[in-house]
Protein backbone atom coordinates (compact mmCIF):
# COMPACT_ATOMS: atom_id res chain seq x y z
CA UNK A 1 0.00 0.00 0.00
CA UNK A 2 2.86 2.39 0.76
CA UNK A 3 4.21 1.80 -2.73
CA UNK A 4 0.78 2.45 -4.23
CA UNK A 5 0.59 5.77 -2.40
CA UNK A 6 4.14 6.83 -3.25
CA UNK A 7 3.12 8.47 -6.54
CA UNK A 8 1.98 12.15 -6.34
CA UNK A 9 -0.72 11.64 -8.96
CA UNK A 10 -2.24 8.73 -7.06
CA UNK A 11 -2.23 10.83 -3.89
CA UNK A 12 -4.08 13.56 -5.78
CA UNK A 13 -6.65 10.99 -6.94
CA UNK A 14 -7.27 9.99 -3.33
CA UNK A 15 -7.47 13.63 -2.26
CA UNK A 16 -10.31 14.12 -4.75
CA UNK A 17 -12.09 10.90 -3.81
CA UNK A 18 -12.14 11.72 -0.10
CA UNK A 19 -14.61 14.51 -0.91
CA UNK A 20 -16.79 12.51 -3.30
CA UNK A 21 -17.05 9.93 -6.07
CA UNK A 22 -15.93 10.72 -9.61
CA UNK A 23 -16.11 9.07 -13.01
CA UNK A 24 -12.81 8.32 -14.78
CA UNK A 25 -13.68 11.10 -17.24
CA UNK A 26 -14.13 13.59 -14.40
CA UNK A 27 -10.79 12.51 -12.93
CA UNK A 28 -9.08 13.01 -16.31
CA UNK A 29 -10.51 16.54 -16.47
CA UNK A 30 -9.51 17.36 -12.89
CA UNK A 31 -5.98 15.98 -13.20
CA UNK A 32 -5.19 16.97 -16.78
CA UNK A 33 -3.75 13.56 -17.66
CA UNK A 34 -4.39 11.08 -20.46
CA UNK A 35 -7.00 8.36 -20.17
CA UNK A 36 -4.34 5.66 -20.44
CA UNK A 37 -2.21 7.14 -17.66
CA UNK A 38 -5.20 7.47 -15.36
CA UNK A 39 -6.24 3.87 -16.11
CA UNK A 40 -2.78 2.69 -15.02
CA UNK A 41 -2.93 4.56 -11.71
CA UNK A 42 -6.49 3.45 -10.98
CA UNK A 43 -5.48 -0.15 -11.61
CA UNK A 44 -2.68 0.16 -9.04
CA UNK A 45 -5.07 1.59 -6.44
CA UNK A 46 -7.70 -1.03 -7.21
CA UNK A 47 -5.26 -3.92 -6.83
CA UNK A 48 -4.42 -2.66 -3.35
CA UNK A 49 -8.09 -2.49 -2.39
CA UNK A 50 -8.00 1.30 -1.96
CA UNK A 51 -10.67 2.10 -4.55
CA UNK A 52 -13.66 0.36 -6.12
CA UNK A 53 -15.66 1.08 -9.26
CA UNK A 54 -19.46 0.92 -9.35
CA UNK A 55 -22.05 1.44 -12.09
CA UNK A 56 -24.22 4.54 -12.01
CA UNK A 57 -27.86 4.10 -11.03
CA UNK A 58 -28.66 6.71 -13.67
CA UNK A 59 -26.59 6.35 -16.83
CA UNK A 60 -25.50 2.70 -16.75
CA UNK A 61 -22.69 3.50 -19.18
CA UNK A 62 -20.97 5.47 -16.42
CA UNK A 63 -18.77 4.08 -13.68
CA UNK A 64 -17.99 5.93 -10.47
CA UNK A 65 -14.67 5.52 -8.70
CA UNK A 66 -14.92 5.63 -4.93
CA UNK A 67 -12.68 5.09 -1.93
CA UNK A 68 -13.23 1.96 0.11
CA UNK A 69 -14.23 3.29 3.55
CA UNK A 70 -11.92 1.03 5.53
CA UNK A 71 -8.90 1.35 3.25
CA UNK A 72 -7.64 4.71 4.48
CA UNK A 73 -9.79 5.61 7.46
CA UNK A 74 -7.57 8.48 8.58
CA UNK A 75 -7.14 10.06 5.16
CA UNK A 76 -8.32 13.66 4.75
CA UNK A 77 -8.15 16.30 2.02
CA UNK A 78 -4.86 18.18 1.80
CA UNK A 79 -6.61 21.52 2.25
CA UNK A 80 -9.80 22.67 3.91
CA UNK A 81 -12.57 24.33 1.93
CA UNK A 82 -15.01 27.04 2.96
CA UNK A 83 -18.69 27.52 2.17
CA UNK A 84 -21.51 29.72 3.40
CA UNK A 85 -24.07 26.93 2.84
CA UNK A 86 -24.19 23.30 1.77
CA UNK A 87 -26.96 22.09 -0.56
CA UNK A 88 -27.61 18.34 -0.65
CA UNK A 89 -29.33 17.24 -3.86
CA UNK A 90 -30.97 14.05 -5.08
CA UNK A 91 -33.73 13.45 -7.60
CA UNK A 92 -36.86 13.43 -5.42
CA UNK A 93 -35.55 15.09 -2.23
CA UNK A 94 -37.50 12.42 -0.39
CA UNK A 95 -34.79 10.34 1.31
CA UNK A 96 -31.03 10.66 0.78
CA UNK A 97 -30.77 14.45 0.57
CA UNK A 98 -33.26 14.87 3.42
CA UNK A 99 -31.18 12.57 5.61
CA UNK A 100 -27.99 14.37 4.60
CA UNK A 101 -29.42 17.77 5.49
CA UNK A 102 -30.56 16.58 8.92
CA UNK A 103 -27.30 14.79 9.72
CA UNK A 104 -25.22 17.73 8.53
CA UNK A 105 -27.18 20.17 10.68
CA UNK A 106 -26.27 18.30 13.84
CA UNK A 107 -22.62 17.89 12.78
CA UNK A 108 -21.48 21.23 11.34
CA UNK A 109 -22.02 24.95 11.93
CA UNK A 110 -22.18 25.55 8.16
CA UNK A 111 -25.89 25.94 7.25
CA UNK A 112 -27.44 23.27 5.04
CA UNK A 113 -30.53 22.72 2.93
CA UNK A 114 -31.68 19.92 0.65
CA UNK A 115 -33.51 19.87 -2.68
CA UNK A 116 -34.43 17.66 -5.62
CA UNK A 117 -34.22 17.96 -9.37
CA UNK A 118 -37.72 16.44 -9.55
CA UNK A 119 -39.10 16.66 -6.00
CA UNK A 120 -41.62 14.14 -4.75
CA UNK A 121 -44.88 15.06 -3.07
CA UNK A 122 -43.65 13.97 0.35
CA UNK A 123 -40.67 12.58 2.26
CA UNK A 124 -40.40 8.80 2.06
CA UNK A 125 -41.77 7.03 5.12
CA UNK A 126 -38.68 4.80 5.26
CA UNK A 127 -36.46 7.88 5.57
CA UNK A 128 -38.63 9.28 8.36
CA UNK A 129 -38.49 5.98 10.22
CA UNK A 130 -34.75 5.43 9.96
CA UNK A 131 -34.10 9.02 11.01
CA UNK A 132 -36.38 8.67 14.03
CA UNK A 133 -34.66 5.40 14.96
CA UNK A 134 -31.38 7.32 15.20
CA UNK A 135 -32.89 10.33 16.99
CA UNK A 136 -32.85 12.58 13.93
CA UNK A 137 -35.86 14.66 12.84
CA UNK A 138 -36.63 15.31 9.19
CA UNK A 139 -38.19 18.75 8.76
CA UNK A 140 -39.85 20.21 5.69
CA UNK A 141 -41.31 19.02 2.41
CA UNK A 142 -39.34 18.19 -0.76
CA UNK A 143 -38.11 21.31 -2.57
CA UNK A 144 -37.08 22.07 -6.15
CA UNK A 145 -33.35 22.55 -6.67
CA UNK A 146 -33.83 25.61 -8.88
CA UNK A 147 -35.82 27.33 -6.12
CA UNK A 148 -33.12 26.72 -3.51
CA UNK A 149 -29.71 27.18 -5.10
CA UNK A 150 -27.83 30.45 -4.67
CA UNK A 151 -24.42 31.83 -5.61
CA UNK A 152 -21.66 30.49 -3.42
CA UNK A 153 -23.47 27.30 -2.34
CA UNK A 154 -21.39 24.15 -1.97
CA UNK A 155 -23.43 21.46 -3.73
CA UNK A 156 -23.26 17.80 -2.76
CA UNK A 157 -25.20 15.45 -5.02
CA UNK A 158 -26.14 12.23 -3.24
CA UNK A 159 -27.79 10.68 -6.29
CA UNK A 160 -26.21 9.56 -9.57
CA UNK A 161 -29.15 10.79 -11.62
CA UNK A 162 -29.05 14.29 -10.09
CA UNK A 163 -25.29 14.49 -10.55
CA UNK A 164 -25.53 13.48 -14.19
CA UNK A 165 -28.46 15.80 -14.87
CA UNK A 166 -26.92 18.88 -13.25
CA UNK A 167 -23.25 18.31 -14.14
CA UNK A 168 -22.10 20.40 -11.19
CA UNK A 169 -18.87 20.84 -9.31
CA UNK A 170 -18.83 20.49 -5.54
CA UNK A 171 -18.95 16.85 -4.47
CA UNK A 172 -20.81 13.73 -5.53
CA UNK A 173 -21.67 10.76 -3.32
CA UNK A 174 -22.85 7.74 -5.29
CA UNK A 175 -25.38 6.34 -2.82
CA UNK A 176 -28.00 3.76 -3.92
CA UNK A 177 -31.60 4.95 -3.71
CA UNK A 178 -33.25 3.19 -0.72
CA UNK A 179 -36.72 4.08 -2.02
CA UNK A 180 -36.25 1.71 -4.98
CA UNK A 181 -35.53 -1.19 -2.62
CA UNK A 182 -38.04 -0.08 0.00
CA UNK A 183 -36.67 -2.23 2.82
CA UNK A 184 -35.68 -1.00 6.26
CA UNK A 185 -32.18 -2.35 5.62
CA UNK A 186 -31.82 -0.24 2.46
CA UNK A 187 -32.71 2.92 4.38
CA UNK A 188 -30.38 1.94 7.22
CA UNK A 189 -27.50 1.36 4.79
CA UNK A 190 -28.11 4.73 3.14
CA UNK A 191 -28.24 6.42 6.55
CA UNK A 192 -24.94 4.89 7.67
CA UNK A 193 -23.15 5.74 4.41
CA UNK A 194 -24.39 9.33 4.47
CA UNK A 195 -23.40 9.71 8.13
CA UNK A 196 -19.89 8.41 7.39
CA UNK A 197 -19.39 10.78 4.50
CA UNK A 198 -20.76 13.76 6.40
CA UNK A 199 -18.33 13.17 9.26
CA UNK A 200 -15.49 13.20 6.74
CA UNK A 201 -16.61 16.30 4.86
CA UNK A 202 -17.62 18.30 7.93
CA UNK A 203 -14.12 17.99 9.32
CA UNK A 204 -12.76 19.87 6.30
CA UNK A 205 -15.53 22.33 5.33
CA UNK A 206 -15.55 25.54 7.34
CA UNK A 207 -17.90 28.56 7.32
CA UNK A 208 -16.96 31.22 4.77
The pLDDT tens digits for 87-107 are: 999 999 999 999 999 999 999
Of 119, 136, 133, the C-alpha closest to 179 is 119
Mean pLDDT, rounded, for 23-51: 95
At CA 91, angle to CA 125 and CA 59, rounded to 5? Answer: 125
- Does residue 134 register a pLDDT over 60? yes
Region(s) of the chain under CATH 1.10.10.10: 8-67
Of 205, 207, 2, 190, the C-alpha closest to 102 is 190
Q: For residue 132, what pLDDT band results from cuts at 50, 70 and 90?
A: very high
pLDDT per position as a tens digit, 180-205: 999 999 999 999 999 999 998 898 88
Region(s) of the chain under CATH 3.40.50.2300: 81-207
pLDDT at 45: 95
Around Cβ 131, how many Cβ atoms within 10 Å? 20
Crossing angle of helices 24-31 and 35-47, in 10° steps, is 120
Topology of 8-67 in CATH?
A: Arc Repressor Mutant, subunit A (1.10.10)
- When the pLDDT of each residue in the chain is averaged and rounded to a whole number, the result is 92
Mean pLDDT, rounded, for 156-173: 91
Mean pLDDT, rounded, for 50-66: 94
Looking at 3.50.50.60, 3.40.50.2300, 3.40.50.150, 3.30.70.2740, the CATH number of the domain 81-207 comes to: 3.40.50.2300
Amino acid sequence: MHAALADPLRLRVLDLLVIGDLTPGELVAELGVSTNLLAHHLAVLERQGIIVRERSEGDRRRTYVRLRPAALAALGPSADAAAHRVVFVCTANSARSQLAEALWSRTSTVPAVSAGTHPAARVAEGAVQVAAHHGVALIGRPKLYADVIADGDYVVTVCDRAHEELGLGGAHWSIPDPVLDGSAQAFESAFQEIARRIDSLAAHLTPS
